[in-house]
Amino acid sequence: MPAGELVRIRCSRGSSIPTVAAHAEQLAACFGTREVRVHRDPEHAAWGTALLVRRDPLDGVTADGPWADATCPLSLWDAFPVGVDELGGTVTVSLPERNLLLGGEPGAGKSAAMSLVLATAAMDPTVKLWLLDGKLVELAAWQPCAERLAGPNLDDAIALLQAVRDEMERRYRELLATGVRKITRDAGLPLHAIACDELAFYLTAEDRKQRTRFAELLRDLVARGRAAGVIVIAATQKPAADVVPSALRDLFGFRLALRCTTPQASDTILGQGWASLGHTAATIAPTQRGIGLLLAEDGVPVRLRCFYLDDQAIDQLARRALLIRMDAALDAETPS
């Protein structure tokens, strides 16, 4: 059964698509639908579409994903699957030269979505994994595969970021010496993935000096890390400017907005203005964990249900990842 109908709309003189979008609730009540989603035509201000949603197309979609069978080494250079869109297609993300910001209210599914990235990164034995975990327990499963894990301690977190920054500086010197502008898959240099869960914990620490230092280091890694193969994945409940400086937030190429309480909160993750164009994570129900909007640079937000790995699946994958890494280390030591 189709989930709804798509209607092309043209607004009359004096009106605009955002005005129609602002009345989406009234329209939904009038049509007797679950929701009405109004999107503006990017090429023409007078035209747009209204999606009359009768049932959520993502309800009942299986969220298992291809992870359970992943045994072989993966590569973080490749696009990897993160979920299913409303048409049943697999949504993928390619992280080299990108960074990913995940936001949403407590329990929306940020840490769960982050484990999809971590599973891919851990199963790529060439990736150097750095973990920052404001809760200490969320990322613990991946610690054996990581270079270092910093828990809820600002000194440890700053030391970790400093270590990656030293690595980045070293790499830029290498690139300069070889006359190359950025690292590529063929260069044989490892990608560095920094996963930071509960970013707000570090950015709102009591000691102003420490939190400023942390923010500066992270901003530098997000801003300059791209060409050096440094990828930052950060999750936070509140990415508003009073918590995450906009100079940092705006640098993330990929944004995943899981359920938010208000359209404004959704906009702080996706970027200003998307809610008024009909793309808001505030319409996601509290029970719809793992459903969100994914925005890639220069794109339009895509509504998806993220794949889900439960604790048992994460433990299994982390164990497999460790074996893959041990094998790769042995191979590297064995003379051919």
Ligand X SMILES: Nc1ncnc2c1ncn2[C@@H]1O[C@H](COP(=O)(O)OP(=O)(O)OP(=O)(O)O)[C@@H](O)[C@H]1O
List residues near ligand X by CB under 6 A.
63, 104, 106-112, 237, 289-290, 306, 308
Nearer to ligand X (CB atom), residue 102 or residue 230: 102
CB 192 within 8 A of CB 231: yes
Q: Considering CB distances under 5 to 8 angstroms, the limit depending on partner class, which of ligand X, Mg ion, none binds residue 251?
A: none
48 or 104: CB nearest ligand X:
104
Q: Using CB under 5 A, which residues numbered 241 to 270 contact Mg ion?
A: none
> Which residues have C-beta within 8 Å of that of residue 272, sequence separation ≥ 6?
none
Neighbours of 246 (CB within 10 A): 12
Q: How far is the CB of 240 from ligand X (least distance, A)?
A: 15
Are 236 and 243 spatial neighbours (Cβ–Cβ below 8 Å)? yes
Partner touching 171 among ligand X, Mg ion, none, CB below 5 to 8 Å by kind: none
CB 198 to ligand X: min, Å: 7
- Three-class DSSP category at 73: coil
- φ, ψ of residue 196 to 5 degrees: the values are -120, 105
**Residue with the CB atom nearest Mg ion in the bound state:** 111
From 102-110, 147-155, 303-311, 328-336, span contacting Mg ion (CB under 5 A): 102-110
Residue 306 interacts with, from Mg ion, ligand X, none (CB under 5-8 Å by kind): ligand X
Whichever of 166 and 310 has its CB closer to ligand X, that residue is 310
Neighbouring-strand partners of residue 103: 236, 257
Q: Quote the distance between the C-alpha of residue 155 and its chain's center.
A: 26
Nearest of 218, 254, 261, 217 to residue 237 by alpha carbon: 261
107 binds, among ligand X, Mg ion, none (CB under 5 to 8 A by kind): ligand X
Residue 236 binds: one of ligand X, Mg ion, none (C-beta under 5 to 8 A by kind): none
Look up residue 156 and give its two tokens. Answer: 């440890």
Structure-token match 């249900």, residue found: 305
Q: Is 276 in the site for Mg ion (CB under 5 A)?
A: no
The three state secondary structure string of 113-156 is HHHHHHHHHHCCCCCEEEEEECCCCCCHHHHHHCCEEECCCHHH
Is 111 a binding residue for Mg ion by CB under 5 A? The answer is yes
Residue 179 binds what, of ligand X, Mg ion, none (CB under 5 to 8 Å, by partner type)? none
Closest contact distance (angstroms) between CB of 336 and ligand X is: 43
63 binds, among Mg ion, ligand X, none (CB under 5 to 8 A by kind): ligand X
Q: Which two tokens stand for residue 209?
A: 């000096």
Closest separation in Å from C-beta 49 to ligand X: 27
d(CA 22, CA 275): 9
Examine residue 115 and tell whether it contacts Mg ion (CB under 5 A).
no
Residue 36's H or E segment, with its range, is: strand 35-41
Residue nearest to ligand X (CB): 290
Which residues would be at the binding site for Mg ion (CB under 5 A)? 110-111
